[in-house]
Protein backbone atom coordinates (compact mmCIF):
# COMPACT_ATOMS: atom_id res chain seq x y z
CA UNK A 1 0.00 0.00 0.00
CA UNK A 2 3.06 2.23 0.34
CA UNK A 3 3.12 2.91 -3.40
CA UNK A 4 -0.64 2.99 -3.96
CA UNK A 5 -0.86 6.72 -4.80
CA UNK A 6 2.09 6.48 -7.19
CA UNK A 7 0.48 3.57 -9.01
CA UNK A 8 -2.83 5.45 -9.14
CA UNK A 9 -1.11 8.56 -10.52
CA UNK A 10 0.64 6.50 -13.21
CA UNK A 11 -2.65 4.81 -14.08
CA UNK A 12 -4.32 8.20 -14.53
CA UNK A 13 -1.43 9.60 -16.59
CA UNK A 14 -1.59 6.69 -19.01
CA UNK A 15 -5.39 6.82 -19.19
CA UNK A 16 -5.07 10.49 -20.18
CA UNK A 17 -2.43 9.80 -22.85
CA UNK A 18 -4.47 6.83 -24.11
CA UNK A 19 -7.51 9.02 -24.54
CA UNK A 20 -5.39 11.73 -26.15
CA UNK A 21 -4.37 9.19 -28.77
CA UNK A 22 -7.95 7.98 -29.21
CA UNK A 23 -9.17 11.56 -29.60
CA UNK A 24 -6.54 12.47 -32.19
CA UNK A 25 -6.30 9.29 -34.28
CA UNK A 26 -9.76 9.64 -35.89
CA UNK A 27 -8.91 13.26 -36.75
CA UNK A 28 -5.85 12.00 -38.60
CA UNK A 29 -8.10 9.41 -40.26
CA UNK A 30 -10.39 12.26 -41.42
CA UNK A 31 -7.44 14.14 -42.89
CA UNK A 32 -6.17 10.95 -44.55
CA UNK A 33 -9.57 10.20 -46.07
CA UNK A 34 -9.85 13.77 -47.36
CA UNK A 35 -6.27 13.69 -48.69
CA UNK A 36 -7.23 10.71 -50.86
CA UNK A 37 -9.71 12.98 -52.65
CA UNK A 38 -7.11 15.65 -53.42
CA UNK A 39 -5.60 15.98 -56.90
CA UNK A 40 -1.98 15.04 -57.57
CA UNK A 41 0.67 15.97 -56.48
CA UNK A 42 -1.11 17.06 -53.28
CA UNK A 43 -2.45 13.54 -52.64
CA UNK A 44 0.92 11.83 -53.03
CA UNK A 45 2.49 14.33 -50.61
CA UNK A 46 -0.22 14.32 -47.95
CA UNK A 47 -1.12 10.63 -47.74
CA UNK A 48 2.39 9.32 -46.88
CA UNK A 49 2.88 12.13 -44.35
CA UNK A 50 -0.46 11.37 -42.69
CA UNK A 51 0.35 7.65 -42.66
CA UNK A 52 3.63 8.42 -40.90
CA UNK A 53 1.98 10.71 -38.35
CA UNK A 54 -0.74 8.16 -37.69
CA UNK A 55 1.73 5.29 -37.32
CA UNK A 56 3.82 7.25 -34.83
CA UNK A 57 0.80 8.31 -32.76
CA UNK A 58 -0.64 4.81 -32.77
CA UNK A 59 2.47 2.81 -31.92
CA UNK A 60 4.46 5.31 -29.84
CA UNK A 61 1.66 6.89 -27.78
CA UNK A 62 -1.74 5.21 -28.04
CA UNK A 63 -0.96 1.48 -27.81
CA UNK A 64 1.72 1.81 -25.11
CA UNK A 65 -0.58 4.08 -23.09
CA UNK A 66 -3.46 1.58 -23.33
CA UNK A 67 -1.23 -1.25 -22.17
CA UNK A 68 0.37 0.72 -19.33
CA UNK A 69 -2.99 2.13 -18.14
CA UNK A 70 -4.31 -1.42 -17.99
CA UNK A 71 -1.25 -2.81 -16.21
CA UNK A 72 -1.46 -0.12 -13.52
CA UNK A 73 -5.24 -0.72 -13.26
CA UNK A 74 -4.68 -4.43 -12.67
CA UNK A 75 -2.06 -3.57 -10.07
CA UNK A 76 -4.54 -1.24 -8.31
CA UNK A 77 -7.19 -3.97 -8.36
CA UNK A 78 -4.66 -6.39 -6.91
CA UNK A 79 -3.97 -3.94 -4.08
CA UNK A 80 -7.68 -3.16 -3.56
CA UNK A 81 -9.64 -6.29 -4.54
CA UNK A 82 -12.63 -5.00 -2.53
CA UNK A 83 -13.36 -2.64 -5.47
CA UNK A 84 -14.47 -5.64 -7.53
CA UNK A 85 -17.35 -6.10 -5.07
CA UNK A 86 -18.63 -2.58 -5.80
CA UNK A 87 -21.24 -2.17 -8.51
CA UNK A 88 -19.76 1.06 -9.92
CA UNK A 89 -16.43 -0.69 -10.53
CA UNK A 90 -18.09 -3.56 -12.40
CA UNK A 91 -19.92 -1.05 -14.62
CA UNK A 92 -16.69 0.92 -15.10
CA UNK A 93 -14.89 -2.24 -16.20
CA UNK A 94 -17.70 -2.81 -18.69
CA UNK A 95 -16.95 0.63 -20.16
CA UNK A 96 -13.25 -0.25 -20.25
CA UNK A 97 -14.11 -3.35 -22.30
CA UNK A 98 -16.15 -1.07 -24.59
CA UNK A 99 -13.15 1.27 -24.81
CA UNK A 100 -10.90 -1.60 -25.86
CA UNK A 101 -13.45 -2.57 -28.52
CA UNK A 102 -13.39 1.04 -29.78
CA UNK A 103 -9.58 0.98 -29.69
CA UNK A 104 -9.49 -2.29 -31.64
CA UNK A 105 -11.87 -0.94 -34.30
CA UNK A 106 -9.61 2.12 -34.60
CA UNK A 107 -6.73 -0.30 -35.09
CA UNK A 108 -8.56 -2.01 -37.95
CA UNK A 109 -9.26 1.36 -39.57
CA UNK A 110 -5.62 2.33 -39.01
CA UNK A 111 -4.43 -0.81 -40.82
CA UNK A 112 -6.80 -0.21 -43.73
CA UNK A 113 -5.61 3.36 -44.19
CA UNK A 114 -1.98 2.29 -43.90
CA UNK A 115 -2.71 0.01 -46.88
CA UNK A 116 -4.53 2.82 -48.73
CA UNK A 117 -7.92 1.16 -48.30
CA UNK A 118 -10.55 3.82 -47.62
CA UNK A 119 -13.95 2.45 -46.52
CA UNK A 120 -15.20 5.42 -44.49
CA UNK A 121 -16.26 8.91 -45.50
CA UNK A 122 -14.77 11.84 -43.62
CA UNK A 123 -18.21 12.56 -42.14
CA UNK A 124 -18.59 8.99 -40.89
CA UNK A 125 -15.14 9.25 -39.30
CA UNK A 126 -16.04 12.57 -37.66
CA UNK A 127 -19.02 10.84 -36.09
CA UNK A 128 -16.89 7.84 -35.06
CA UNK A 129 -14.54 10.29 -33.36
CA UNK A 130 -17.20 10.97 -30.71
CA UNK A 131 -17.20 7.37 -29.43
CA UNK A 132 -14.22 7.86 -27.14
CA UNK A 133 -15.75 11.09 -25.81
CA UNK A 134 -18.92 9.27 -24.74
CA UNK A 135 -16.93 6.51 -23.05
CA UNK A 136 -14.77 9.05 -21.23
CA UNK A 137 -17.81 10.94 -19.93
CA UNK A 138 -19.40 7.69 -18.73
CA UNK A 139 -16.27 6.49 -16.92
CA UNK A 140 -15.48 9.82 -15.26
CA UNK A 141 -19.03 10.27 -13.98
CA UNK A 142 -19.12 6.68 -12.76
CA UNK A 143 -15.85 7.00 -10.86
CA UNK A 144 -16.72 10.36 -9.33
CA UNK A 145 -20.39 9.75 -8.48
CA UNK A 146 -20.31 5.99 -7.66
CA UNK A 147 -23.94 6.08 -6.52
CA UNK A 148 -26.28 3.52 -8.07
CA UNK A 149 -29.27 5.91 -8.03
CA UNK A 150 -27.29 8.48 -9.95
CA UNK A 151 -26.42 5.93 -12.67
CA UNK A 152 -29.91 6.50 -14.07
CA UNK A 153 -29.14 10.20 -14.35
CA UNK A 154 -25.76 9.31 -15.79
CA UNK A 155 -27.29 7.17 -18.51
CA UNK A 156 -29.76 9.94 -19.32
CA UNK A 157 -26.86 12.40 -19.34
CA UNK A 158 -24.81 10.25 -21.73
CA UNK A 159 -27.85 9.94 -23.99
CA UNK A 160 -28.36 13.72 -23.94
CA UNK A 161 -24.64 14.25 -24.62
CA UNK A 162 -24.95 11.93 -27.62
CA UNK A 163 -27.89 13.93 -28.93
CA UNK A 164 -25.98 17.20 -28.45
CA UNK A 165 -22.94 15.76 -30.25
CA UNK A 166 -25.14 14.56 -33.13
CA UNK A 167 -26.78 17.99 -33.43
CA UNK A 168 -23.36 19.63 -33.35
CA UNK A 169 -22.16 17.23 -36.02
CA UNK A 170 -25.15 18.03 -38.25
CA UNK A 171 -24.60 21.76 -37.75
CA UNK A 172 -20.90 21.43 -38.58
CA UNK A 173 -21.76 19.38 -41.67
CA UNK A 174 -24.16 22.12 -42.81
CA UNK A 175 -21.51 24.80 -42.25
CA UNK A 176 -18.92 22.74 -44.18
CA UNK A 177 -21.30 22.26 -47.11
CA UNK A 178 -21.68 26.08 -47.34
CA UNK A 179 -17.98 26.74 -46.75
CA UNK A 180 -15.67 23.76 -47.57
CA UNK A 181 -12.69 25.47 -45.90
CA UNK A 182 -14.40 25.62 -42.48
Q: What percent of the chain has pLDDT over 70?
A: 94
Q: pLDDT tens digit string along 104-126?
A: 999 999 999 999 999 999 988 98
Other Cβ atoms less than 10 A from the Cβ of 152: the count is 10
- What would the DSSP string read from start to end of 109-167? HHHHHHTT---S-HHHHHHHTTHHHHHHHHHHHHHHH--HHHHHHHHHHHHHHHHHHHH
Residue 10's H or E segment, with its range, is: helix 4-35
pLDDT of 96 higher than 70: yes
Residue ranges of the annotated binding site are 11, 92
pLDDT of 156 higher than 80: no
- Is pTM, for the whole model, over 0.85? no
Residue ranges of the annotated binding site for heme are 11, 92
Amino acid sequence: MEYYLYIKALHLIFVITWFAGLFYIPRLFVYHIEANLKPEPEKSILVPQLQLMTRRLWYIITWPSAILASLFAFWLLYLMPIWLDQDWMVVKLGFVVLLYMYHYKCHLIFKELQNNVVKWSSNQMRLWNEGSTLILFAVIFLVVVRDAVNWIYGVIGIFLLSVILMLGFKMYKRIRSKNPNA
